[in-house]
Amino acid sequence: MAEGLKILFVAAEAAPLAKVGGMGDVVGTLPKVLRAMGHDVRIFMPYYGYLPAKVAVPPQPIWAGKAMDQDVEVFQTTLPNSDVPVYLSGHASFAPQRTYGGDDESWRFTLFSRTAIEFILNHWRPQVVHCHDWHTGMVPVWLHNVVNIATVFTIHNLAYQGPSREQLDIITPCPDYMEGVNVMSAALIFSDIINTVSPTYAQQIQTAEYGESLEGLLSALNDKVVGILNGIDPQAFDPAADRHIKHNFSMQTLEKRQANKAVIQAEVGLPVDEDVFLIGMVSRLVEQKGLDLMLQILDQFMAYTNVQVVVLGTGDDVYEQALLKLAAQFSGRFAAYIMYSDAVARRIYAGADAFLMPSRFEPCGISQMIALRYGCIPIVRNTGGLVDTVLHHNPVEQTGTGYCFDRYEPLDLFTCMVRAWEGFQYKDVWTALQKRAMAVDLSWDKSAQTYVQTYRQILSA
């Protein structure tokens, strides 16, 4: 049996300690799976001001030193509900009660990356340093000439690329050998492997439509670009044991699911009616998630059908206000909850008939996986990780797990939603579709094995 690897995840988020997007889910779950496989996996993340309320942190640091002429400290705790060690990078710039934002964002995440380097060189030396998004982009650059340490850089969102080279030169002296116009491009050049969180997105980012101006660089580096699909924790998202839903159910007891529909309808102020098609959406309210597309067709869709819709999320003010306006316009049929609540989200997954996710782009997506797990049929655009996780329903051949459309056009979304509404009218076929959705293997096991193979490959190169 191969010897276990020493792996350090360096990231700005790790659920449940810090989670803003899908990165938090990955960093909070994958290390647990890898550790269960026999690898020594640890997490290095900022010591945000809100963390003491979430996890016990000993008052004494395990290491203290200098980074960018600043006094820095590292504290050790454990990821909740696991045995994964977590190193918290302490500095006054991370004391505020926020994860991102602020005029000092570029400076403090550059400091975070430099602190990780000092910690690696002076305290715990892994074989693989797995970095996530631009916040850690300088780590592969600074480790470039360090022997026996391989670097993996995962792109969760290519749209955010960090400070420019000119800004970096003001923040801290950059190595003479450094290339790249910003932190993200430098990380791509100097990491041993570039990883995206779905195979389709790995190909898409090498095109002008999805490359965010880095498609030429990514195409040139194609030999080291790999796509490994995210998973979800099947125990954390289990409708048979979820304490946030009133009526637990499984694929074998799918008939119990119907009662959850009445629960969420009543909770959000919609008339309780099991025969009405209920569409749920849990999302950040931003353009990426297809909000502009959805808003163009909802008036027509609501007029054409008798559906109910519930949307949960926060984001850009323009979308929040538009959804509140729709809730007033279609009172009793459209509910907009401008907030985020994991408990309400789970009740939507467990009670809605379908889940709407018409993303403009989607590196992987977690929501559609949770929806599948809970028998909530996804309505998605064929892009990124949505392609790799949701197969279009063919009612004749009784295959597929959801409803999919290709072009980012209002008519295509409208047509797809109408087809889902029509499909719901055939209850036996719909039940079979739900069971196929719930049967999909969404665990991390296969992907974790692929990550280990990737780690070993770059270590032996």
Q: Which domains does the chain have, with CATH numbers?
A: 6-231+444-460 (3.40.50.2000), 254-439 (3.40.50.2000)
CA distance 411 to 388: 23
CA distance 107 to 124: 24
How many angstroms from the chain centroid is the CA of residue 151? 21
Q: Give the SS3 label for residue 224.
A: helix
pLDDT tens figures, 358-390: 999 999 999 999 999 999 999 999 999 999 999
Q: Give the SS3 label for residue 118.
A: helix
* Helical segments of 123-248, H only: 138-142, 165-171, 183-190, 199-204, 215-220
Tokens of 102: 């602020």
Inter-residue contact 323 to 338 (CB < 8 Å)? yes
Residue 261 has pLDDT above 90, yes or no: yes
What is the CB-side half-sphere exposure of residue 17 using CA atoms within 13 A?
Answer: 31
pLDDT tens figures, 291-308: 999 999 999 999 999 999
pLDDT at 429: 96
Instruction: Give me the helix-helix angle, 258-267 and 342-351, nearest 10°.
Output: 130
Cβ partners under 8 Å of residue 6, min gap 6? 39, 40, 125, 126, 127, 128
Cβ partners under 8 Å of residue 218, min gap 6? 188, 194, 205, 206, 211, 225
**What's the rounded mean pLDDT across residues 279-290?**
95
Tokens of 138: 């300088």
Nearest Cα residue to 393 out of 404, 381, 380? 404
Instruction: Give me the helix-helix angle, 317-329 and 291-304, nearest 10°.
Output: 10
Report the b/e string of 432-446 with b at 16+ CB within 10 A.
ebbebbbeeebebee
CA distance 67 to 375: 49
Q: Is the dihedral of CA 101, 103, 105, 108 positive or negative?
A: negative
* Amino acid letter for position 404: C
CA distance 309 to 326: 10
pLDDT at 420: 98
Q: Is the dihedral of CA 41, 42, 43, 49 positive or negative?
A: positive
Burial class (CB in 10 A: 0-12, 13-18, 19+), 256: middle
Averaged pLDDT score across all residues of the chain: 96
Cβ partners under 8 Å of residue 228, min gap 6? 195, 196, 197, 198, 199, 447, 450, 451, 454
* Amino acid letter for position 316: D
Cβ partners under 8 Å of residue 170, min gap 6? none
pLDDT at 100: 95
pLDDT tens figures, 165-215: 999 999 999 999 999 999 999 999 999 999 999 999 999 999 999 999 999
Tokens of 90: 């302490």
pLDDT at 228: 97
pLDDT at 92: 96
What is the CB-side half-sphere exposure of residue 151 using CA atoms within 13 A?
Answer: 27
Nearest Cα residue to 57 out of 41, 71, 46? 46
Inter-residue contact 233 to 369 (CB < 8 Å)? no
Q: Give the SS3 label for residue 195.
A: strand
Q: Is the dihedral of CA 55, 59, 64, 69 positive or negative?
A: positive
Q: What is the largest CA-CA distance in the chain?
A: 67
pLDDT tens figures, 43-98: 999 999 999 999 999 999 999 999 999 999 999 999 999 999 999 999 999 999 99
Residue 1 has pLDDT above 70, yes or no: no
20 confidence band (pLDDT: 50, 70, 90): confident
What percent of the chain is predicted at pLDDT more than 70? 100
Nearest Cα residue to 118 out of 64, 175, 172? 64
Indicate whether this model's pTM tops 0.95. no
Q: Give the H/E segment covering residue 433.
A: helix 427-439
What percent of the chain is predicted at pLDDT more than 90? 96
Inter-residue contact 271 to 307 (CB < 8 Å)? no
**What's the rounded mean pLDDT across residues 418-438?**
97
Q: Give the SS3 label for residue 380.
A: strand
Burial class (CB in 10 A: 0-12, 13-18, 19+), 49: middle
